[in-house]
Amino acid sequence: MRILVTGAWNCTKKQLNELESCGHSIVFMQNEKGEMPCAYSEVEGVICNGLFLYHPIEKFTSLHYIQLISAGFDRVPMDYVQFRGIKIYNARGVYSIPMAEFAICGVLQLYKESRYFYKNQEKYEWNKNRGILELYGKTVCIVGCGSVGTECAKRFQAFGCRVIGVDLLPRLDSNYQTIFPLSRLDEALASADVVILTLPLTKDTRYLINEERFRIIKSDSVLVNIARGAVVEEKALLDALEKKLRGAVLDVFEEEPLNQCSPLWEKENVIITPHNSFVGDGNAERLYRLIRVNLEK
Protein backbone atom coordinates (compact mmCIF):
# COMPACT_ATOMS: atom_id res chain seq x y z
CA MET A 1 0.00 0.00 0.00
CA ARG A 2 1.23 3.52 -0.78
CA ILE A 3 0.79 5.35 2.52
CA LEU A 4 0.99 9.08 3.11
CA VAL A 5 2.34 9.68 6.62
CA THR A 6 2.06 13.21 8.00
CA GLY A 7 4.12 14.89 10.68
CA ALA A 8 1.14 14.69 13.01
CA TRP A 9 2.46 11.22 13.83
CA ASN A 10 5.72 11.67 15.68
CA CYS A 11 7.18 8.49 14.25
CA THR A 12 10.77 7.33 14.13
CA LYS A 13 12.82 6.43 11.07
CA LYS A 14 13.00 2.89 12.41
CA GLN A 15 9.21 2.64 12.55
CA LEU A 16 8.84 3.89 8.96
CA ASN A 17 11.48 1.41 7.83
CA GLU A 18 9.58 -1.40 9.55
CA LEU A 19 6.39 -0.42 7.74
CA GLU A 20 8.27 -0.45 4.44
CA SER A 21 9.73 -3.86 5.25
CA CYS A 22 6.12 -5.11 5.49
CA GLY A 23 5.63 -4.15 1.85
CA HIS A 24 4.25 -0.62 2.20
CA SER A 25 5.54 2.39 0.27
CA ILE A 26 5.84 5.43 2.53
CA VAL A 27 5.51 9.06 1.43
CA PHE A 28 6.19 11.57 4.22
CA MET A 29 4.55 14.99 4.55
CA GLN A 30 5.64 17.09 7.52
CA ASN A 31 2.92 19.76 7.56
CA GLU A 32 -0.67 18.73 6.92
CA LYS A 33 -1.42 22.24 5.63
CA GLY A 34 1.43 22.04 3.15
CA GLU A 35 1.78 21.00 -0.46
CA MET A 36 1.26 17.34 -1.28
CA PRO A 37 4.54 15.45 -1.87
CA CYS A 38 2.86 13.25 -4.49
CA ALA A 39 -0.26 13.13 -6.62
CA TYR A 40 -3.52 12.72 -4.68
CA SER A 41 -4.45 9.77 -6.86
CA GLU A 42 -1.32 7.85 -5.81
CA VAL A 43 -2.28 7.75 -2.12
CA GLU A 44 -3.94 4.52 -1.00
CA GLY A 45 -3.66 5.03 2.75
CA VAL A 46 -2.98 7.89 5.17
CA ILE A 47 -1.75 8.17 8.73
CA CYS A 48 -2.78 11.64 9.81
CA ASN A 49 -4.70 13.91 12.16
CA GLY A 50 -6.40 16.86 10.44
CA LEU A 51 -5.24 16.28 6.85
CA PHE A 52 -8.73 16.51 5.38
CA LEU A 53 -9.29 19.95 6.89
CA TYR A 54 -6.79 21.27 4.37
CA HIS A 55 -6.95 18.77 1.52
CA PRO A 56 -10.39 17.70 0.22
CA ILE A 57 -10.82 13.98 0.70
CA GLU A 58 -12.52 13.73 -2.70
CA LYS A 59 -9.14 14.30 -4.37
CA PHE A 60 -7.78 11.06 -2.88
CA THR A 61 -9.42 8.87 -5.49
CA SER A 62 -7.46 5.70 -4.58
CA LEU A 63 -7.88 6.03 -0.81
CA HIS A 64 -9.10 2.94 1.04
CA TYR A 65 -7.35 3.18 4.46
CA ILE A 66 -7.24 5.98 7.06
CA GLN A 67 -5.43 5.77 10.38
CA LEU A 68 -6.06 8.75 12.64
CA ILE A 69 -3.64 9.56 15.43
CA SER A 70 -6.49 11.14 17.38
CA ALA A 71 -9.35 9.48 19.22
CA GLY A 72 -12.05 11.61 17.62
CA PHE A 73 -13.53 11.34 14.12
CA ASP A 74 -14.77 14.96 14.03
CA ARG A 75 -12.03 16.15 11.63
CA VAL A 76 -12.99 13.64 8.95
CA PRO A 77 -16.00 13.77 6.56
CA MET A 78 -17.43 10.51 7.84
CA ASP A 79 -20.42 10.46 5.50
CA TYR A 80 -18.04 10.36 2.54
CA VAL A 81 -15.80 7.77 4.19
CA GLN A 82 -18.73 5.46 4.86
CA PHE A 83 -20.23 5.99 1.41
CA ARG A 84 -16.93 5.04 -0.26
CA GLY A 85 -16.33 2.09 2.08
CA ILE A 86 -12.98 3.45 3.23
CA LYS A 87 -11.55 1.65 6.25
CA ILE A 88 -10.95 4.13 9.05
CA TYR A 89 -9.33 3.62 12.44
CA ASN A 90 -8.87 6.01 15.32
CA ALA A 91 -6.30 5.92 18.10
CA ARG A 92 -8.64 4.12 20.47
CA GLY A 93 -6.91 3.24 23.72
CA VAL A 94 -3.67 5.06 22.93
CA TYR A 95 -4.29 8.13 25.09
CA SER A 96 -6.73 6.66 27.61
CA ILE A 97 -4.22 6.09 30.42
CA PRO A 98 -2.72 9.60 30.58
CA MET A 99 -6.18 11.16 30.20
CA ALA A 100 -7.53 9.09 33.08
CA GLU A 101 -4.55 10.06 35.24
CA PHE A 102 -5.17 13.69 34.32
CA ALA A 103 -8.81 13.45 35.44
CA ILE A 104 -7.77 12.03 38.81
CA CYS A 105 -5.09 14.68 39.18
CA GLY A 106 -7.47 17.55 38.42
CA VAL A 107 -10.20 16.42 40.81
CA LEU A 108 -7.66 15.83 43.59
CA GLN A 109 -6.20 19.32 43.08
CA LEU A 110 -9.64 20.81 43.69
CA TYR A 111 -10.55 18.44 46.53
CA LYS A 112 -7.22 18.93 48.31
CA GLU A 113 -7.12 22.72 47.73
CA SER A 114 -3.73 22.59 46.01
CA ARG A 115 -3.93 26.19 44.79
CA TYR A 116 -4.48 27.42 48.36
CA PHE A 117 -1.40 25.62 49.65
CA TYR A 118 0.70 26.65 46.65
CA LYS A 119 -0.07 30.30 47.32
CA ASN A 120 0.79 29.85 50.99
CA GLN A 121 4.09 28.26 50.06
CA GLU A 122 4.94 31.20 47.78
CA LYS A 123 4.36 33.55 50.74
CA TYR A 124 6.04 31.25 53.33
CA GLU A 125 2.77 31.12 55.26
CA TRP A 126 1.76 28.25 57.57
CA ASN A 127 -2.04 28.20 57.28
CA LYS A 128 -4.16 25.10 57.68
CA ASN A 129 -7.26 24.44 55.57
CA ARG A 130 -10.20 22.65 57.18
CA GLY A 131 -12.19 22.34 53.95
CA ILE A 132 -10.32 19.40 52.42
CA LEU A 133 -12.52 16.71 50.86
CA GLU A 134 -12.02 12.98 50.34
CA LEU A 135 -12.68 11.10 47.10
CA TYR A 136 -13.63 8.04 49.12
CA GLY A 137 -17.36 7.39 49.02
CA LYS A 138 -18.10 10.01 46.37
CA THR A 139 -20.24 9.25 43.31
CA VAL A 140 -18.44 9.73 40.01
CA CYS A 141 -20.48 9.90 36.82
CA ILE A 142 -18.57 9.21 33.60
CA VAL A 143 -20.40 10.37 30.49
CA GLY A 144 -18.97 8.32 27.63
CA CYS A 145 -17.89 4.81 28.62
CA GLY A 146 -15.35 4.10 25.89
CA SER A 147 -11.68 3.42 26.51
CA VAL A 148 -10.96 6.81 28.13
CA GLY A 149 -14.03 6.66 30.33
CA THR A 150 -13.30 3.12 31.41
CA GLU A 151 -9.70 3.93 32.36
CA CYS A 152 -11.13 6.78 34.45
CA ALA A 153 -13.61 4.37 36.03
CA LYS A 154 -10.85 1.96 37.07
CA ARG A 155 -8.89 4.68 38.82
CA PHE A 156 -11.78 6.34 40.63
CA GLN A 157 -13.02 2.93 41.70
CA ALA A 158 -9.60 2.31 43.26
CA PHE A 159 -10.12 5.43 45.39
CA GLY A 160 -13.31 3.91 46.82
CA CYS A 161 -15.71 5.90 44.68
CA ARG A 162 -19.11 4.75 43.47
CA VAL A 163 -18.68 4.90 39.69
CA ILE A 164 -21.65 5.14 37.36
CA GLY A 165 -21.60 5.62 33.61
CA VAL A 166 -23.77 7.09 30.87
CA ASP A 167 -23.42 5.82 27.32
CA LEU A 168 -25.31 5.41 24.06
CA LEU A 169 -24.75 1.66 24.36
CA PRO A 170 -25.23 0.58 28.01
CA ARG A 171 -23.59 -2.71 29.00
CA LEU A 172 -22.61 -4.76 32.00
CA ASP A 173 -19.09 -3.77 33.03
CA SER A 174 -17.42 -4.49 36.38
CA ASN A 175 -15.70 -1.08 36.26
CA TYR A 176 -19.07 0.63 36.75
CA GLN A 177 -21.81 0.07 39.28
CA THR A 178 -24.20 0.65 36.41
CA ILE A 179 -24.20 2.26 32.97
CA PHE A 180 -27.28 4.31 32.17
CA PRO A 181 -28.52 5.00 28.64
CA LEU A 182 -28.09 8.59 27.46
CA SER A 183 -31.84 9.08 27.93
CA ARG A 184 -31.25 8.83 31.71
CA LEU A 185 -28.38 11.34 31.80
CA ASP A 186 -30.29 13.76 34.03
CA GLU A 187 -30.87 11.08 36.64
CA ALA A 188 -27.17 10.23 36.71
CA LEU A 189 -26.06 13.87 36.90
CA ALA A 190 -28.35 14.57 39.85
CA SER A 191 -26.52 12.05 42.04
CA ALA A 192 -22.91 12.78 41.01
CA ASP A 193 -20.25 14.53 43.06
CA VAL A 194 -17.88 14.40 40.09
CA VAL A 195 -18.91 14.48 36.42
CA ILE A 196 -16.34 13.43 33.82
CA LEU A 197 -16.99 14.04 30.13
CA THR A 198 -15.20 11.65 27.77
CA LEU A 199 -17.73 11.32 24.95
CA PRO A 200 -17.21 12.31 21.29
CA LEU A 201 -18.54 15.56 19.84
CA THR A 202 -21.45 14.97 17.47
CA LYS A 203 -24.52 16.96 16.48
CA ASP A 204 -26.32 15.19 19.34
CA THR A 205 -23.70 15.90 22.01
CA ARG A 206 -22.97 19.54 21.16
CA TYR A 207 -23.90 21.58 24.27
CA LEU A 208 -25.08 18.41 25.97
CA ILE A 209 -24.13 20.08 29.27
CA ASN A 210 -26.11 23.30 29.10
CA GLU A 211 -28.01 25.66 31.38
CA GLU A 212 -30.77 23.13 31.94
CA ARG A 213 -28.31 20.37 32.85
CA PHE A 214 -26.37 22.63 35.19
CA ARG A 215 -29.61 23.16 37.10
CA ILE A 216 -29.83 19.38 37.53
CA ILE A 217 -26.18 18.78 38.46
CA LYS A 218 -25.58 18.35 42.17
CA SER A 219 -24.40 21.40 44.13
CA ASP A 220 -20.69 21.53 45.01
CA SER A 221 -19.84 19.02 42.30
CA VAL A 222 -16.78 19.05 40.07
CA LEU A 223 -16.95 18.95 36.27
CA VAL A 224 -14.08 17.48 34.24
CA ASN A 225 -14.07 17.98 30.48
CA ILE A 226 -11.50 15.91 28.58
CA ALA A 227 -13.85 15.32 25.64
CA ARG A 228 -14.41 18.31 23.34
CA GLY A 229 -15.04 21.89 24.37
CA ALA A 230 -18.37 22.22 22.58
CA VAL A 231 -19.89 19.41 24.66
CA VAL A 232 -20.30 22.13 27.32
CA GLU A 233 -22.08 25.44 26.81
CA GLU A 234 -19.50 27.92 28.07
CA LYS A 235 -21.88 30.71 29.11
CA ALA A 236 -23.85 28.26 31.24
CA LEU A 237 -20.61 26.87 32.69
CA LEU A 238 -19.47 30.33 33.79
CA ASP A 239 -22.76 30.89 35.56
CA ALA A 240 -22.58 27.46 37.25
CA LEU A 241 -19.02 28.13 38.44
CA GLU A 242 -20.29 31.25 40.19
CA LYS A 243 -23.40 29.74 41.74
CA LYS A 244 -23.21 25.97 42.01
CA LEU A 245 -20.07 24.02 41.06
CA ARG A 246 -17.17 23.43 43.41
CA GLY A 247 -14.98 23.73 40.36
CA ALA A 248 -14.08 22.54 36.89
CA VAL A 249 -11.11 20.84 35.28
CA LEU A 250 -10.98 21.96 31.65
CA ASP A 251 -8.56 20.63 29.08
CA VAL A 252 -10.65 21.39 25.99
CA PHE A 253 -12.48 24.46 24.74
CA GLU A 254 -14.81 25.35 21.91
CA GLU A 255 -12.19 27.73 20.52
CA GLU A 256 -8.55 26.79 20.99
CA PRO A 257 -6.30 28.38 22.08
CA LEU A 258 -8.60 29.77 24.75
CA ASN A 259 -8.96 33.52 24.20
CA GLN A 260 -6.91 35.53 26.68
CA CYS A 261 -10.01 37.61 27.38
CA SER A 262 -11.99 34.59 28.56
CA PRO A 263 -13.17 34.98 32.17
CA LEU A 264 -12.32 31.31 32.72
CA TRP A 265 -8.65 32.22 33.14
CA GLU A 266 -9.38 34.19 36.29
CA LYS A 267 -11.59 31.65 38.05
CA GLU A 268 -10.03 30.40 41.26
CA ASN A 269 -12.04 27.19 41.06
CA VAL A 270 -10.99 26.30 37.50
CA ILE A 271 -7.98 24.32 36.34
CA ILE A 272 -7.08 25.11 32.73
CA THR A 273 -4.71 23.10 30.56
CA PRO A 274 -4.07 23.54 26.80
CA HIS A 275 -5.60 20.33 25.38
CA ASN A 276 -2.74 18.50 27.03
CA SER A 277 -4.41 15.66 28.94
CA PHE A 278 -3.55 13.06 26.29
CA VAL A 279 0.22 13.44 26.70
CA GLY A 280 2.08 10.51 28.21
CA ASP A 281 5.40 8.77 27.75
CA GLY A 282 3.73 5.50 26.74
CA ASN A 283 1.71 6.96 23.86
CA ALA A 284 4.26 6.49 21.10
CA GLU A 285 4.63 2.76 21.63
CA ARG A 286 0.89 2.19 22.04
CA LEU A 287 0.16 4.12 18.83
CA TYR A 288 2.74 2.23 16.80
CA ARG A 289 1.44 -1.14 17.99
CA LEU A 290 -2.09 -0.06 17.05
CA ILE A 291 -1.01 1.07 13.59
CA ARG A 292 0.71 -2.25 12.93
CA VAL A 293 -2.36 -4.21 14.01
CA ASN A 294 -4.74 -2.11 11.90
CA LEU A 295 -2.55 -2.36 8.80
CA GLU A 296 -2.77 -6.12 9.02
CA LYS A 297 -6.58 -6.20 9.07
Active site residues: 228, 256, 275
What single-letter DSSP state applies at residue 282? T
CA–CA separation, 56 vs 115, rounded Å? 46
Torsion, Cα of 204, 205, 210, 213 (10° steps): 90
DSSP states along 16-55 = HHHHHHTTPEEEEES-TTS--SS-GGG--EEEESSGGGTS
> In which region does residue 66 sit, left (phi positive, over 0), alpha (psi from -120 to 50) or beta (all else)?
beta
Under 8 Å between Cβ of 148 and 97:
no
